[in-house]
Amino acid sequence: MAKLAFLGLGLMGSGMASCLLQAGHDVTVWNRSPGKSEALAANGAKPASSPIEASRGAEAVFSMVADDQASDRCWLAEDGALHGLEPGAFVIECSTVSHAQSERLAQASGSKQLRYIDCPVNGPPSAAASGDLVLLVGADPDDLDVARPWLEEISQSILHFGPVGTGTAYKLINNLLGAVHVAATAEAAHLARNLGLDVDTTVAAVESGPVASPHTRRMIRPMMEGRPADSVGLAIGLREKDARYCLAMAHGLGLNMTLGEHAHDWYAEASANHGTEDDSLMLETVTAHKGKAPTRG
């Protein structure tokens, strides 16, 4: 049994922290809104009043929060977790942060002789709760070997991309690709609806065809029916943030991402009205650029 801490108890973080508790670890938790700690506390977690309090005595601290600003709050604030850890402890950032933020955290951790692992994830909240996430890891191999038993308890697979920063780099590429998939699905659905294609037949064709990514399978029916998806995937505002971070990473290398930039523009527009809603609502923004608004069924 290890002494661990978990910072950020949203839909993803609460499920991940629960898996660590179920594995028998001593888990201290912190969330900006304290009420989110209650369910975990009922199952044995120890709520903390600040990240630094949560981190004291921990062998590893995990974080799963929304963006760079929230990550700074967890780790680098005056009462951030980096200030409570002993040398040799692990800093495990599971949030989708910018590549620059990952580098900053790695440097700050190294200056305190802490071991940093960037560990963003693939998978929905249901996978977080069941311990079936895919972890996208950038880490020193020796550090990963030590942390692997904890990581295995929240995942079905660990993909090690290389040194620190590479896991975050891939995660941003992945989520920009997702933004392109969703925007393209919205365009295709809009065209199919204007052509009068049968909804059920179109859905069956997409789901069984060569473009049937998880995104298109989840989006095609609600978009063909002009409604939000039944299950929440990634909020429009979070996808916009991830796409923006990826484009900044690419621009830092002098690269353009033409399709990604167009998709991000649509997400930025949609975020103003639907930032906290599922990105199946991208259909409204895409169709607004085509001259006809969708009919909400």
Q: Report the CATH number at residue 223.
A: 1.10.1040.10
Asked whether residue 160 falls in the same domain as residue 191, the answer is no
What is the DSSP secondary structure assignment for residue 235, as one 8-state letter? B
Decide if pLDDT at 292 tops 70. Answer: no
For residue 294, pLDDT beyond 60: no
DSSP class of 277: S
Residue 14 pLDDT more than 50? yes
Same domain for 159 and 13, yes or no, is yes
Beta bridge pairs of residue 121? 135
205: in domain: yes
Check residue 34 and give its pLDDT: 87
pLDDT for 91-111, tens place per residue? 999 999 999 999 999 999 999
Do 91 and 53 belong to one domain? yes
Residues 187 and 200 in one domain: yes
In a shared domain, residues 140 and 271: no
Domain count within the chain: 2
- Side chain identity at 231, as an amino acid letter? S
In a domain, residue 75? The reply is yes
Is 148 part of a structural domain of the chain? Answer: yes
Average pLDDT over residues 17-33: 97
Residues 226, 127 within the same domain: no
pLDDT for 4 equals 98
Show Cβ contacts of residue 81 under 8 Å, excluding neighbours closer than 6 positions.
5, 7, 51, 52, 54, 55, 61, 63, 74, 75, 91
112 tagged catalytic: no
Would 294 be classed as within a structural domain?
A: no
- Tell me the residue range of the domain where 140 lies: 3-164
Q: How confident is the model at residue 290 (pLDDT cuts 50, 70, 90)?
A: low
**What is the mean predicted confidence (pLDDT) over 40-64?**
97
Q: Considering 111, 139, 164, which residue would you say is the last residue of a domain?
A: 164
14 and 151 both lie in a single domain? yes
Domain edge (last residue) among 134, 164, 194: 164
| Residue 56 sits in the same domain as residue 25 | yes
pLDDT of 208 strictly over 50:
yes
List Cβ neighbours of 211 (8 Å cut-off, separation of 6 or more): none
Does 231 or 234 have the greater pLDDT score? Answer: 234
Q: Which of 137, 164, 191 is the endpoint of a domain?
A: 164
- Picking from 176, 150, 154, the residue whose alpha carbon sits closest to that of residue 13 is 154
CATH number of 54's domain: 3.40.50.720
Quick one: 72 and 200 in the same domain? no
Are both 108 and 147 inside the same structural domain? yes
26 and 131 both lie in a single domain? yes
> What single-letter amino acid sits at 150?
W
Average pLDDT, the chain: 94
Same domain, 52 and 116: yes
Res. 168 pLDDT band, cuts 50 70 90: very high
Mean pLDDT over 100-129 rounds to: 97
Strand (E) or helix (H) holding 111: helix 99-111
- Residue 136 in contact with residue 97, Cβ under 8 Å? no
Per-residue confidence (pLDDT) for residue 291, from 0 to 100? 53
Domain membership flag for residue 14: yes
Residue 211: CB atoms within 10 Å: 15
Residue 293 falls inside a structural domain: no
Which of 169, 112, 166, 173 minimizes the C-alpha distance to 144? 166
CA distances 293 to 194, 269, 296, Å, are 11, 15, 9
CA distance 76 to 210: 45
296 — pLDDT class (breaks 50, 70, 90): very low
Give the model's pLDDT for residue 8: 98
36, 112, 171, 292: the catalytic one is: 171
